[in-house]
């Protein structure tokens, strides 16, 4: 007997997005593969339950956003439960939710930056991360200031698209 339309949809989603989604969630969970696999499974299950959410929009950003929300929700749920035995020293050193959110965003931005061309990445690193002016960045990179300006413009556009694909930009 052939697969139903729902089964074909789920298989197609997994085939096309499963690998990148698992890699993304592994980074979010600090390499906890069982937890990452559970998050990917739950993310795909939600896509299967709500196919209307996938129509008329890019699928991958939606999947990445759902996965990120699941990881954050799981972290918050663990923190909300009272400890089973006294105060554990490991729990005391656990970063707060804001720290986790910032770390997740940092990983996502770093991943998006790695998708940019080397020339675009270089101008953004010089101007935003190193805090250099256009003239200073031009000197360091050995290119004219006008090139720094235009590359920065196009690099920011490319970065915004890369972040939107990951569900981070509005």
Q: Are residues 37 and 119 in the same domain?
A: no
Place 83 in a pLDDT band, splitting at 50, 70 and 90. low
Q: What is the pTM of this model?
A: 0.49
What's the CATH number where 47 sits?
Answer: 1.10.1740
How far apart, in whole angstroms, are the C-alpha atoms of residue 75 and residue 36?
13
Q: Are residues 111 and 158 in the same domain?
A: yes
Domain total in the chain: 2
Task: Give the tens place of pLDDT for each residue, 127-163.
Answer: 888 888 889 999 999 999 999 999 999 998 998 888 8
Q: Are residues 54 and 100 in the same domain?
A: no
Task: Give the tens place of pLDDT for each residue, 16-66.
Answer: 888 888 888 888 888 888 998 999 889 888 888 887 777 777 888 888 888
Residue 6 buriedness (CB in 10 A; 0-12 / 13-18 / 19+): exposed
How far apart, in whole angstroms, are the C-alpha atoms of residue 68 and residue 74?
10
């Amino acid at each position: 007997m052939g697969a139903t339309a729902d089964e074909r949809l789920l298989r197609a989603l997994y085939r096309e997005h499963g690998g990148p989604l698992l890699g993304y969630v592994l980074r979010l969970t600090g390499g906890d593969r069982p937890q990452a696999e559970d998050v990917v499974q739950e993310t795909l299950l939600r896509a299967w339950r709500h196919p209307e959410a996938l129509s008329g929009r890019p699928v991958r950003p939606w999947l990445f956003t759902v996965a990120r929300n699941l990881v954050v929700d799981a972290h918050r749920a663990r923190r909300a439960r009272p400890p089973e035995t006294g105060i554990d020293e490991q729990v005391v050193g656990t970063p707060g939710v804001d720290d986790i959110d910032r770390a997740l965003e940092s990983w996502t931005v770093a991943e998006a930056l790695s998708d940019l061309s080397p020339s675009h990445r270089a101008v953004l690193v010089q101007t935003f991360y190193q805090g250099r002016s256009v003239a200073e960045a031009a000197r360091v990179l050995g290119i004219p200031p006008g090139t720094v300006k235009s590359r920065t413009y196009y690099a920011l556009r490319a970065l915004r698209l890369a972040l939107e694909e990951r569900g981070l930009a509005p």
